[in-house]
Structure 1
């Protein structure tokens, strides 16, 4: 048994993935987090695991953590994943399904968000010996029973964290190369690079990495970022330095991140003097080339991506102070040391 709750702070990824892993055990597990984590929904994953015979409940009956799992393994068979705001529910289920006691079938209702991450999950599973059959729209999956096979595996650099350095090149008119992020990466956030190209940046392949530079002015664009939500703050900050209107749509799922990231980005850009509109599932940035932006204290809302995105703005605008800057430790512990190398 797990005598103490497994405390995961505000780590949504770990909470979603470890919930399914814990279901494979033979004990009672409690998975808990901080106050914000108690507000972040996990109901679709609970319902899907119950369909596979898992005894799991939301302790507060809110479909949010803390969760209690009375684990006796996963039975398998067919289950349904209701529509949710995260592809991680789906990845979590896929990764544990080979260890079910019966072959597992999974049906997905509604829209599948962040599809590149589902494709990446399937590719990694295949690399370790489990080949999943699925429909092209990622709505139906047949997962064979099996065991992952150990191997030597090359891990790419993190495209999400690389985004801040490419954005730095876009905003300052410099050139930044990030190595070990291949052009043909399966990571969804690699999609930021062609968006920067649309805005006026030059993109080149540099060995096993990607270089971004800018010589002409940035122009606003209209883009659906449903498949790359984690780099929305990055693009939004760049858009504040562009000329003209940038529309970022299909991003309602940002509201259940480490903070209500859609509202937070709009609020903090507004504090800097940017003209930004917030809609239920989109934002509109009216860029003026950054001419009217001013320094201010940026609230991070304990969200690592807020801190790193707005740090980039400080490369062009004097007097930008990041409050709670240590929150970057969640995904990029040495971010500030690396960021200092840009000077």
Structure 2
């Protein structure tokens, strides 16, 4: 049941002739949209999702929930309506290449009556899934998985999950924890989930999960480090207002820094569930100026980029764009704490080392990161590895290195289908 991927679209990255100056409006956060869809599907009343992200990952998530019997009207781009219903099989879910789907929907499928099959793009079968499979099995769920513990996967839903206590090693992805927590209020005994292993990455995404669970009426206790306790109970239907996507904004902010320009992300809320503070720290250390006003979140380039030493474990999704900025900086950088991104859409550390090296940067690969020594960069063809974040990194390099090309820009449809047009429009204002 492997899905059909978008046709490749080679692309010459536009170079900037001067400072960019623009206000951009971006679609909603993929992370928030995915969580809102699952919580709305498991609620007792209907929900509305305002300003959701419409992209491949979220469209596939919506299709997966429809396959399980959920009523989902996505006809209006700015307002989706979710009507809960008893979850049922038999069903087939195409996860594409989305970690959110392959990790958020199997626990929900365990609540369904019937068999639910999961599969996706070829590389999706390489993405780690075993910890969540083993945790669900420990809770009594019947699952057939591949020899590696991942896709293709079959969940034999019995209409209920007893719940109780489970132990997991979530060092490979915070989504293992989030996926279990989102469905936990519907487990008969709730869930006490304990992480044992190296630190869980992407802590802000876990905080987003627990904040959104509470907003839907769940009782969640995370007062003990590496332990999450969710009480059984109903989830309420509500209106979810989705913030602009911070990770999706990163390349646009990088454009301001590379060109010495200014970019404002419009519609940024005064209070955010995304790690805006950490992004601001990183961009400031790299040489940017970050301010927030009623108009939005603004990044100004100062005309210089500095090398940094940084632990990116909380904001690993930013690694490709930060690495691109590091390759254009005035000194070496060391980016650590992101071993788990080897299991993302591609092995991002190996891919960045290869592609930035191809362009002329000196890159040393560590198990958990990269050392990047800037050098005279030259035009190169960046392989994008079907990975939207790799395409973003290449586009950032292309601003400063005329002749930079991408093997495929269509992979950006995963989270921002209009990226090539938005990017070209931004650079045209330089």
Is TM (by shorter chain) over 0.5? Answer: yes
Partner of 1:113: 201
Partner of 2:423: 339
Structure 1 distance, partners of 2:180, 2:231, is 13
Structure 1 distance, partners of 2:215, 2:124, is 32
Partner of 1:24: 111
Partner of 1:135: 223
Select the residue among 145, 150, 154 that pairs with 1:68.
154
Shift in Å, 1:208: 5.2
Deviation string, structure 1 residues 124-154 (Cα, Å, up to 9, x no partner): 11111112012352x1122111122122232
| Cα pair 2:161 2:187 within 8 Å, conserved | yes
Alignment of 1:58-97 (within 5 A): 58=145, 60-72=146-158, 73-97=160-184
Partner of 1:174: 261
Select the residue among 262, 266, 274 that pairs with 1:187.
274
Select the residue among 320, 328, 353 that pairs with 1:266.
353
The answer on 1:52 being equivalent to 2:136 is: no
Partner of 1:311: 395
Partner of 1:330: 414
Instruction: Please list every run of 5 or more consecutive structure 1 residues that lacks an aligned counterpart in the other structure.
Output: none
Structure 2 distance, partners of 1:232, 1:51, is 34
Deviation string, structure 1 residues 23-58 (Cα, Å, up to 9, x no partner): 110111110122211111211001111122111131
| Cα pair 1:158 1:181 within 8 Å, conserved | no
The answer on 1:207 being equivalent to 2:294 is: yes
| Cα pair 1:250 1:282 within 8 Å, conserved | yes
Structure 2 distance, partners of 1:103, 1:307, is 41
Bigger relative contact order, structure 1 or 2 (CA pairs below 8 A, ≥6 apart): 2
The answer on 1:218 being equivalent to 2:302 is: no
Structure 2 distance, partners of 1:189, 1:67, is 35
Q: Which moved more, 1:203-212 or 1:69-78?
A: 203-212
The answer on 1:298 being equivalent to 2:386 is: no
Alignment of 1:276-295 (within 5 A): 276-288=363-375, 292-295=376-379
Residue aligned with 2:313, SS: coil
| Cα pair 2:320 2:392 within 8 Å, conserved | no
Instruction: Please list every run of 5 or more consecutive structure 2 residues that lacks an aligned counterpart in the other structure.
Output: 1-87
| Cα pair 1:204 1:212 within 8 Å, conserved | yes
Structure 1 distance, partners of 2:287, 2:169, is 40
Deviation string, structure 1 residues 158-213 (Cα, Å, up to 9, x no partner): 00001010011111111000123346523136622221111211111131521111
Residue aligned with 1:170, SS: helix
Please tell me the root mean square deviation across aligned C-alpha atoms, in Å: 1.6
Partner of 2:331: 244
Structure 2 distance, partners of 1:221, 1:27, is 52
Structure 2 distance, partners of 1:213, 1:177, is 9
Residue aligned with 1:315, SS: helix
The answer on 1:100 being equivalent to 2:184 is: no
* TM-score scaled by length of structure 1: 0.94
